[in-house]
Amino acid sequence: MAANSNSKRHKAEEQNDGIDRISSLPNSLLCYILSFLPTKTCVSTMTLVSRRFRNLWKDLQTFDFCDNYGFEGYENEDYDDENIKEFMLFAIFVNAVLALRRSRDIRKMSLSCIHHQRTTVAYSVNTWIRTAIGPHLEEFRLIVCCIDGLSFNLPLTLLSCANLVSLCLGGDILFQLQDSSGICLHSLKVLQLLEIHHLDVNSVHILFSGCPILENLELSFFPESFARLCVPSYLKRLIISVENQVEACLEINAPGPKHLSLTNITFGNAVGNLYNLEEAYLGVDSSPKSESVDPLLNLLRPLSGVKRLELHCSTTEWLFDAPFLHIPEFCHLFHLEVFLPSFNLKFLFDTLEKCPMLQTLMINHRKDHSLVTDDSSHSYGWLVKPKTVPKCLVFHLTFIHFRAYQGNIHELEFTSYVLQNGLVLKTMLICDSWLKQPKKWKEIISDIPRGSAMCQLEFY
């Protein structure tokens, strides 16, 4: 039967050889396929195929222009007149494509290029943006790198595109808003402001006021002075990252978000309703003005309903000093990943106590040469071994992934404890790449008695 099936399949393939299936596809479908490719690829490819498709790119309503040569010079800090010449070639191509297109309506545009105050360069970038602006524009992405140390002034008419659904701005872009009278982004659901060097927080707040149905917000910026950021209450996804060491404070009372990611940011007193969150990534830090752990605890309490939680080094180090009774219980958490500045046995055990439904635990920590195998210090271990076992170990925890295992006494003590008391543990993965004597440690850990008969111990 199998032989007959293979024979029929090969026969069908032989019969289909030489059939031009692409020619049978409608132009609308071909344009849809081409919309996922860089515009330069579309144009150069279509000119090599049959005459029917040679001008198909002129029907595109989606454009993706990227000045790769210019970005290479910018990243290497080696920009010269040769790069300007290359930009002019890039500009000729973009101008030709936009001039020869049949459809006057642009639905999506992505533009990544350098910028310079030279008239020809500045005029080109502004012209391309204004060409895209219109009632049919749904998605717009602009990444600009200024090579003269100045910023690119964004044409504010872009913020009046009523049908714009997704807007991404990045790089050396400057937009300053006095009021919201010119903002009409009533359809905008996705807003990304990426690595903005000269971000005016007040202008961002004004921009928010003109986006009544915004759902996803991603913001990474370089504040020049202390910034207090207030985010809309109707968001569903929030990602905020401060890219320098200038303090920025977040005020949030958004019951809608299901995903929250915060990096290098502190908190004011206004951390409100976040009980609908399902996923949270925290890389927050304590304010230089206060070493109190209370702001972090005030954030964690509204997060007590999350299902997935990721705590990075700055956050866990801040939590090391938190009183156990003050740490909230995460009753619905089933996936936890922690990044430790140093291995802290007590912190991990207290964390397990606060996560009664935990199913997956991922442990990462920095390489620490001070933690040798014969260390007898109690600074990161137990003064008194606990008498009770965390509920998650008894009923729910099935998978533990231990990355960067270094072979110190506290790691071994924790490993031994969870292997012996993890009654439903199915798998423990241990990365042994940092171990000085991996074979020896494999033997030691493999000899530890296991509370679960189905537990598999794997090293890699």
Residue 449 amino acid letter:
P
Predicted structure pTM score:
0.81
Grade residue 268 by pLDDT with cuts at 50, 70 and 90. low
Report the range out of 103-107, 148-152, 424-428 with the highest average pLDDT: 424-428
Q: Are residues 265 and 284 in contact, defined by beta-carbon separation less than 8 angstroms? A: yes
Percent above pLDDT 90 for the chain: 40
Answer yes or no: is pLDDT of 418 > 60.
yes
Q: Chain-wide mean pLDDT for the chain?
A: 83
Query: What's the pLDDT tens digit per position in 60-98?
Result: 999 999 987 655 545 445 556 676 778 888 899 999 999
Tokens describing residue 367: 């390489």
Strand residues in 247-370 grouped as ranges (E): 248-252, 259-263, 266-271, 279-283, 308-311, 335-340, 360-365
Q: Per the structure block, which two tokens stand in for 441? A: 């440690």
Using only the alpha carbons of the chain, give its radius of gyration. 28
Query: Does residue 227 register a pLDDT over 80?
Result: no
**Adjacent-strand bridge partners of 115:** 146
3-class DSSP state of 120: helix
Domain boundaries, the chain: 25-60, 334-460
pLDDT digits (tens, 9 = 90+) for 292-323: 788 788 888 888 889 999 999 989 988 888 88
Which pLDDT tens digit goes with each residue over 429-455? 998 877 888 888 889 999 999 999 999
The answer to whether the CB of 333 falls within 8 A of the CB of 300 is: no
Give the pair of three-digit tokens for residue 62. 């989606």
Q: Which range, 8-12, 240-244, 362-366, is most confident? A: 362-366
pLDDT at 386: 82
